[in-house]
Structure formats: C-alpha cells, structure tokens
Amino acid sequence: MDVPTRKLKTAYRLMKTIREFEERMRSEYQQGKLPGFIHIYRNQEAVAVAACLDMTNEDYIASTHRGHGHCIAKGCEIEAMLLELACKEDGLCNGKGGSMHIADMSKGMLGANAIVGGGPPIAAGAALTAKTLGNGAVSMAFIGDGASDQGTVAESLNLAVVLQLPMIFMYENNRYAEFTKSPKPDGRIAERAGAFGMPAEVVDGSDFFAMYDACQQAITRGREGGGPTAIEAVCNRYYGHFEGDPQAYRDQDELAQERAVSDPIPRFLADPRAAALSAESIAEIDAAILSEIDRGFEVTYAAADPTPDKLYTDVYIHYEGRLR
C-alpha cells in the first residue's frame, strides 16, 4: 500500500503532536498547573491517527477517558483543547468538560467519556444517523481492553450487526485495565467481536501502516453499506492508568522492554513506506508543533476562568423551571 506524501506528513505531524502535547501536559500537570485527572496516550498514537486519517468532519468518533490523542487525530485545535484541559472559559466545552469529557461537535468528536464503556452506544446512534440519512458517513467507538468487558459494548456490537450500521469498533488493547493486567490473550477481544457476526482482526497497534490499512478497509466497508467492523489494536500503555500512577503493579523490566519496541513514531520513520518524508520536512514539522504548543500554553495561562454565572448555563436549551 502506497501512502501519498501529503498523508504521510499529516500522519507524522499528528502522531508527533499528540506525543509532544501530552509530554508537555504531563510536565505542567506535575507542577500543579492543570486540574483534575489526566490519562496519557503515549505509545498508542498510531491507533488514533491511522483511525482518523481518512475521516472527515462528517464522520464521528466516540472517545474514552484516554482521549487526547483521539481529539488531536480528529482535528481538534490545540489551543482550544488546552483551554479546555485547563478548564478555561474559552475552552472547547467552556471548561465544563475538562480532560475526561472534552468534545468538539464541529469535528464529529462526540466526547471523551469518563464512564468506561459509555461511548459505544452513542457511536452506534451516530452510525444510525448516518445510515438513516444515507450520507456515507461512518462512526467509530474507541474501546479499551477493560471496556471490552462492559455490557454496553456487547449490546452495541449486537445492535450494529442487527441494524448493519456503518460503525467501527476500535479496540485499543494496551493490556492493562486500570491497575490490572488483562487476563485475556491478545486476539481474544477481536474473536469475541467477530462472534457477533462482523469482520474482526487483530492488528499491531504500534505499526501505523498496518493500522492504516485495516482502518481504510473498515471505513470503506462502512461507507459502502457493508456494516460494522472490529479492529483489535494491540499496543502498549507507556505510563500509568492516570498521570501520577507509579505502575508499581507492573514488571519493570517487561515495561522497559515494551516501551522500547512499541513506540510507533520511530517505527513509522524507519519504515521504507515513509521514505518520502525528508529530514528537512520532519524538522520543519517538529518545530511547528513545538511552537504551536508553546503558543497554546501561553494563551491558556493568560485565559480567563468561567464566571460564576456560567454554573447555570447550558443545562438545557430552554427550561421553564428553576435551576437554583
């Protein structure tokens, strides 16, 4: 499969943006400058980027608590995201969502989700919209290996098959559900999804090109009325469940080994199919990313918090009752 240079550049830029964005976030978070919980996506970047590369703003994704990578891959603006993660008035969700509930409807990003397994029914609904309107759009639910056990996921798999929805179940099997190692061997999740009656495959989630190939097929199948697809992307969770989790429950040698072999970015650059990316263009992209992130933080730290009256806005579009 040949990937056009323009797409290679975009893929690299997005993976690297996610990486730099989150590393900077971690550092700011550790200094106490960002509120709430954050969940870092490092080493899973190829999954989100390959998944969203051929999507438009009319296609939908439902994300998870580990959603920064999904946002960036789906096209959310860095500055608006940072403003939201810092819970500022001008953030994507006016500061009311934060990291675990960030959404951008203009980009078809239907929300991170702080309820494990909360997203797939919503993504199925977006797929139902696409099917009903016949507009060729697809909808994707990101699902962790932990969430794969939730009843909502099973219900959504079943509904997607019964209604032949244009939907993709994008499992990210990073082998850890919060602090607990998955007892399932790799591949079991895809096997389970496949048993519902849809094509399901296991893909190396650190290999951008393999992921992109699988995603293109799934998206094309959805757009052409071929129904749902499941992909189990096997990947590595570099950091803890949330930032600050020391991962004492992990074998440190094994972790070091996994971290080294599963970093998707050097693997992407070393692949002959990425040869069209010159060193100059990579350096140019890297510099642009860092300056965009710097500018984002500058704007964010100068930005206003929501005013107290905002507590009462956007509960409803119109409400004839009392909110306080």
Partner 1 sequence: MKMSIREAINQTLHQEMARDERVIVLGEDVASDQGGVYGITEGLPAKFGVHRVIDTPITESAIVGAAGGAALTGLRPVAELMFVDFLGVCLDQILNQIAKFRYMFGGQARTPVVIRTMIGAGTGTGPQHSQILYPLLAAIPGIKVVTPANAADAKGLLTTAIRDDDPVIFCEHKALYMDECEVPEGEYLLPFGQARTAVQGSDITIVGMSRTAVIAEQAAAQLAQKGVSAEVIDLRTLSPLDESTILESLAKTGRLVVVDESNPYCSMASEIAGLAVEQGFDTLDAPVKRITSPHTPVPATPCLEAEYVPNVARVVTAVEETLAY
Site residues, partner 1 (CB under 8 A): 60, 62, 84, 91-97, 101, 103-106, 110-111, 113-115, 118, 120-133, 139, 151-152, 155-156, 158-159, 162-163, 313-323
Residue closer to partner 1 by CB (options 302, 323) is 323
Residue closer to partner 1 by CB (options 8, 85) is 85
Shortest CB 146 distance to partner 1, Å: 16
Residue closer to partner 1 by CB (options 161, 210) is 161
Shortest CB 157 distance to partner 1, Å: 9
Shortest CB 197 distance to partner 1, Å: 12
Residue closer to partner 1 by CB (options 117, 240) is 117
24-52 burial string, b = 16+ CB within 10 Å, else e? bbbebbeeeebeeebbbbbbbbbbbbbbb
Shortest CB 94 distance to partner 1, Å: 3
Cα-flanking dihedrals φ and ψ of residue 66, to 5°? -100, 65
Instruction: Quote the Cα angle for 157-110-222, to 5°.
Output: 45
Given a contact cutoff of 8 angstroms between Cβ atoms, the answer to whether 194 and 230 are in contact is yes
Residue closer to partner 1 by CB (options 159, 289) is 159
3-state secondary structure 186-216: CCHHHHHHHHCCCCEEEEECCCHHHHHHHHH
Shortest CB 261 distance to partner 1, Å: 37
Question: Could you write out the DSSP letters of every residue in 29-77?
Answer: HHTT-S-S-----TT-HHHHHHHHTT--TTSEEE--SS-HHHHHHTT--
